[in-house]
Structure 1
Amino acid sequence: MPATTVDCDAVFFDLRDTLGDVDRPGHLALYRPSTEKLLDAMRDLVGLRVGVITNLPAEVSAEQGHRMIAEAVVAEDDGSVVHLSDVLDPQGIVINHEAHLDKPDPAIYRYAAEQMHVPVERCLFVGENLIEVLAAQAAGMRSTLKPSPPGKEFQPAVITRQGESVRDSGRAFEESLEQEHLLGERIFACGSRIVRGLDAVARAQDIPPGVRTAMGMFVYTLTNFADQAHLKAEEAIVPLAVARGMPPEDARWMFDQHDQARAYWAAIRVAWQRIQNGDPRDVAFALSDFRRCTEGFVQLFRAHAIRENDELYPELGRHLTDADDATVLSIVHHTGPPDIGPYAEIVGAMEEALDAAGIPQDVEADADAAHGTAAGAPPTTGKV
Structure 2
Amino acid sequence: MPATAVDCDVVFFDLRDTLGDVDRPGHLALYRPSTEKLLDAMRDLVGLRIGVITNLPAEVSAEQGHRMIAEAVVSEHDGEVVRLADVIDPRGIVINHEARLDKPDPAIYRFAADQMRVPVERCLFVGENLIEVLAAQAAGMRGTLKPSPPGKEFLPAVISRQGESVQDSGRAFEEALEQEHLLGERIFGCGGRIAGALASVERAEDIPPGVRTAMGMFVYVLTEFADQAHLKAEEAIVPLAVARGMPPERARWMFDQHDQARAYWAAIAVAWRRIQHGDPRDVAYAISDFRGCTESFVRLFRAHAIRENDELYPELGRRLTDADDAAVLSIVHHTGPPDIGPYAAIVGAMEEALDGIAAEGITEQPVAADGSAAGKV
Say yes or no: TM over 0.5. yes
Q: How many Å apart are 1:5 and its aligned residue? A: 2.9
Q: How many Å apart are 1:27 and its aligned residue? A: 1.1
Match of 1:314 in 2: 314
Query: RMSD value over aligned CA atoms?
Result: 1.6
Match of 1:99 in 2: 99
Counterpart check, 1:337 vs 2:313: no
Match of 1:44 in 2: 44
Q: Unaligned regions of 5+ residues in structure 2, if any? A: 373-377
Match of 1:347 in 2: 347
Output the CA distance in 2 between the equivalents of 1:362 and 1:100: 44
Match of 1:299 in 2: 299
Residue 170 of structure 1 aligns to a residue whose secondary structure is: coil
Match of 1:279 in 2: 279
The C-alpha deviation readout for 1:50-99, integer Å capped at 9, x for no partner, is 00001111111111110110111111112111110000000000001100
Residue 8 of structure 1 aligns to a residue whose secondary structure is: coil
Return the TM-score normalized by structure 1: 0.94
- Conserved 8 A contact 1:127-1:145: yes
Output the CA distance in 1 between the equivalents of 2:287 and 2:332: 35
The C-alpha deviation readout for 1:222-259, integer Å capped at 9, x for no partner, is 00000000000000000000000000000000000000
Output the CA distance in 2 between the equivalents of 1:311 and 1:4: 46
The C-alpha deviation readout for 1:138-175, integer Å capped at 9, x for no partner, is 11111111012211110111123411000000000000
Match of 1:108 in 2: 108
The letter for the 2-side match of 1:265 is: W
The letter for the 2-side match of 1:175 is: E
- Conserved 8 A contact 2:161-2:170: yes
The letter for the 2-side match of 1:147 is: P
Output the CA distance in 2 between the equivalents of 1:236 and 1:341: 22
Match of 1:22 in 2: 22
The letter for the 1-side match of 2:84 is: L
Aligned length: 369
Residue 82 of structure 2 aligns to a residue whose secondary structure is: strand
Match of 1:136 in 2: 136
The letter for the 2-side match of 1:241 is: A
Output the CA distance in 2 between the equivalents of 1:199 and 1:364: 10
Structure 1 residues 168-183: aligned runs within 5 Å: 168-183=168-183
The letter for the 1-side match of 2:135 is: A
The C-alpha deviation readout for 1:84-136, integer Å capped at 9, x for no partner, is 00000000000011000111111111100110011111100000111111111
- Conserved 8 A contact 2:102-2:108: yes
Match of 2:255 in 1: 255
Residue 6 of structure 2 aligns to a residue whose secondary structure is: coil
Identity %: 85
Output the CA distance in 2 between the equivalents of 1:345 and 1:192: 19
Match of 1:235 in 2: 235
Structure 1 residues 139-158: aligned runs within 5 Å: 139-158=139-158
Q: Unaligned regions of 5+ residues in structure 1, if any? A: 369-373, 377-384
Range moving further from structure 2, 152-161 or 101-110: 152-161
Output the CA distance in 2 between the equivalents of 1:148 and 1:95: 22
Change over 3 Å in CA distance of 1:198–1:321 after alignment to 2:
same
Residue 324 of structure 1 aligns to a residue whose secondary structure is: helix
Match of 1:9 in 2: 9
The letter for the 1-side match of 2:320 is: L
